[in-house]
């Protein structure tokens, strides 16, 4: 991939004008530099206005009413589902289950698929680079039913050790679940190849795509995965809504996650009949405005083109890595730019990560500090925490330069 800015087809100044928050000053004369996109992305005006329009013009519950507001809201909400299905290459909109977020999607899988298909003595294969959301639900399941968890180790470069992966597959895990892009290291994993290996070993495969779907082309059919999960708020959409994609036959076999309205066809005192996919997993009134905003976010990204988004962010990451090499005392974790997304986690001499983030914030630069809900990955490198700068389509080289200038000022303050 070309890591130069010259090849980008994106109109970055025009994109930046779509994000009102980028005009904000965090203090008088201090312009916001937002570099915390792995935690959540900012929202373009198109997404904000779509949600505002719903509340102003067609606020009603969906699937239940026959008046015009209810019908308009239902169409807008279900259109968003169809857009998301197309965006990730799903065969059918019925494979798209709305949840609250990636975490809930993974918990749904652990609760519904896991409890129905796993028993004591079965193995689950995870990796050391997983977000806690892809570790803790499986630990909870292990304590309940007696399954065993194995973990693929990391290399010194922050990639998955493929020899470790192959060896652990020989234990015939029933489930393999791993991230497509690490939220701490930025590492992009070879999903298609690893999925094929897992299937040959007889495992079902879950992909945590919270960090990948917002930033690169992702096609579930090309990858061959059984389930995939991600969130709207990391891809220009609102908080409080996420996606569980699944192969239709697997979703049909799974028991419901929650009981109540909309997940049923019929209820009698003696029992109930489940609704069709995807509704049997969507009990109660959903996040309607958020779903509509999610659809608008998908439109925005699709219009830009995900290959162009990925190329631009890798060019920005390569530039940031080059600039960080100039700063004495900085150690960046993870692979080189061509093997990672726009995530740079680093330590700065013996300066505490919270101090780094606090001082940068005084200059308007927003980064993350801590373990980023990825403590096992930090433990692998024998560190407790890192500072993390993460990029998106509205970030520019000048903001990277401001980050570097801010880091030199951090050093001045700490001598």
Under 8 Å between Cβ of 16 and 392: no
DSSP 117-172: H--TT-EEEEETT--GGGTHHHHHHHHHH--EEEEEPBPTTSSB-HHHHHHHHTT-
DSSP 202-268: T-EEEEE-TTTTTTS---HHHHT-SEEEEESTTTTS-SS-EEEEE-HHHHHHSPPSS-STTSEEEEE
User: Catalytic: 68?
Assistant: no
Active site residue: 373, 383, 385, 404, which one?
373
Under 8 Å between Cβ of 202 and 172: yes
Distance CA 82, CA 100 (A): 18
CA dihedral 64→66→71→75, nearest 10 degrees, is 60
CA 86-101-137 angle, 5° bins: 120
> Cα 20 vs. chain centroid, distance in angstroms?
23
Q: Scan for tokens 């709305």, then name that residue.
A: 98
Under 8 Å between Cβ of 353 and 347: yes
**246 Cβ contact partners less than 8 Å away, ≥ 6 residues apart:** 95, 97, 226, 227, 228, 254
Distance CA 332, CA 381 (A): 11
Q: How are beta strands 33-34 and 365-366 bridged, if at all?
A: parallel
Under 8 Å between Cβ of 175 and 204: yes
What H or E segment, with its residue span, contains residue 404?
helix 397-413
Q: Scan for tokens 């880091």, then name that residue.
A: 407
- What is the token pair recorded at 33? 């530099």
DSSP state of 95: G
Under 8 Å between Cβ of 207 and 106: no
The interaxial angle of helices 191-200 and 162-169, nearest 10 deg, is: 20
Which residues belong to the active site? 373
């Amino acid at each position: 991939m070309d890591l130069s800015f010259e090849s980008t087809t994106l109109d970055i100044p025009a994109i930046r004008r779509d994000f009102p928050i980028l005009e904000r000053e965090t203090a008088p004369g201090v312009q916001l530099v937002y570099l915390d996109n792995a935690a959540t992305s900012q929202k373009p005006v198109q997404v904000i206005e779509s949600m505002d329009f719903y509340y102003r013009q067609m606020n009603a519950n969906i699937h239940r009413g026959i008046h015009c507001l209810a019908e308009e809201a239902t169409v807008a909400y279900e259109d968003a589902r169809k857009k998301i299905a197309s965006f990730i290459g799903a065969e059918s909109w019925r494979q798209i289950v709305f949840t609250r977020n990636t975490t809930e999607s993974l918990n749904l899988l652990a609760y519904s698929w896991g409890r129905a298909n796993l028993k004591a003595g079965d193995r689950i294969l995870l990796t050391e680079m997983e977000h806690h959301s892809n570790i803790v639900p499986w630990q909870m399941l292990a304590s309940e039913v007696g399954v065993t968890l194995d973990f693929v180790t990391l290399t010194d470069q922050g990639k998955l050790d493929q020899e470790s992966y192959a060896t652990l597959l020989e234990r015939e895990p029933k489930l393999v679940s791993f991230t497509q892009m690490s939220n701490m290291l930025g590492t992009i994993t070879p999903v298609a190849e690893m999925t094929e290996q897992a299937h040959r070993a007889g495992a079902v495969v879950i992909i945590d795509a919270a960090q990948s779907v917002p930033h690169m082309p992702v096609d579930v059919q090309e990858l061959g995965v059984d389930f995939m999960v991600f969130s709207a708020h990391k891809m220009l959409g609102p908080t409080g809504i996420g996606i569980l994609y699944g192969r239709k036959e697997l979703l049909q076999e799974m028991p419901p996650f929650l009981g109540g309205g909309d997940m049923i066809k019929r209820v009698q005192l003696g029992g109930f009949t489940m609704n069709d996919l995807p509704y049997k997993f969507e009990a109660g009134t959903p996040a309607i405005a958020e779903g509509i905003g999610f659809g608008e976010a998908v439109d925005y990204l699709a219009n830009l083109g995900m290959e162009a988004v990925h190329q631009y962010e890798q060019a920005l990451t390569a530039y940031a890595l080059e600039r960080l090499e100039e700063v004495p005392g900085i150690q960046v974790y993870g692979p080189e730019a061509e093997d990672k997304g726009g995530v740079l986690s680093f330590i700065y001499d013996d300066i505490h990560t919270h101090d780094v983030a606090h001082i940068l914030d005084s200059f308007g630069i927003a980064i993350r500090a801590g373990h980023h809900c990825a403590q096992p990955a930090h433990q692998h490198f024998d560190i407790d925490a890192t500072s993390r700068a993460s990029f998106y389509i509205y970030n520019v080289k000048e903001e990277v330069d401001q980050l570097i200038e801010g880091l030199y000022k951090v050093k001045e303050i700490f001598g």
